């Protein structure tokens, strides 16, 4: 295995595990947070729009949205086509987002705190050179 891929996969697992631990205080997992953040930034979206944007398989997104709906974070409403469901944030989610965002910002600062702004930009440039 190419050491670059091995390092990326290992770091990705580590970051996901650490983020899950951090998000426990908000009763969320990183996969759920990505959906909430996506809806916060882009507004109401269909399930298809969410899974395409996040590049995650449809059944995984559907399960996560059902769980978020059960927990009161999102609601699904009928779209123009009765088969289409639009996912929106609930009032509880909107109220909770600022505190969650502060938690995320602190987590991110801790994870990349040893990198300069220039190193962060260089890292972003290198990631953009990768296919995908």
Quote the CA–CA distance of 126 and 14 in Å, as a whole number: 20
Residue 90's pLDDT is what?
98
Residue 72's pLDDT is what?
97
Residue 21's pLDDT is what?
98
Report the 3 state secondary structure along the chain. Answer: CCHHHHHHHHHHHHHHHHHHHHHHHHCCCHHHHHHHHHHHHHCCEEHHHHHHHHCCCHHHHHHHHHHHHHCCCEEEEECCCCCCEEEEECHHHHHHHHHHHHHHHHHHHHHHCCCCHHHHHHHHHHHHHCCC
Residue 83's pLDDT is what?
82
Residue 81's pLDDT is what?
82
Residue 1's pLDDT is what?
83
Series of mean pLDDT values for 10-residue runs along the chain (132 residues): 92 97 97 97 96 94 96 92 90 97 96 96 94 78
């Amino acid at each position: 295995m190419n050491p670059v891929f091995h390092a990326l996969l290992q770091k990705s697992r580590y970051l996901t595990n650490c983020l899950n631990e951090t998000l426990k205080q908000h009763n969320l997992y990183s996969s759920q947070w990505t959906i909430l953040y996506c809806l916060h930034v882009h507004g109401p979206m269909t399930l298809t729009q969410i899974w395409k944007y996040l590049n995650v398989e449809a059944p995984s997104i559907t399960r996560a949205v059902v769980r978020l709906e059960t927990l009161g974070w999102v609601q699904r409403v009928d779209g123009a086509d009765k088969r289409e469901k639009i996912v929106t944030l609930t009032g509880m989610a909107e109220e909770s987002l600022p505190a969650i965002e502060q938690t995320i910002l602190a987590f991110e600062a801790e994870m990349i705190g040893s990198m300069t702004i220039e190193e962060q930009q260089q890292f972003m440039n290198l990631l953009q050179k990768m296919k995908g």
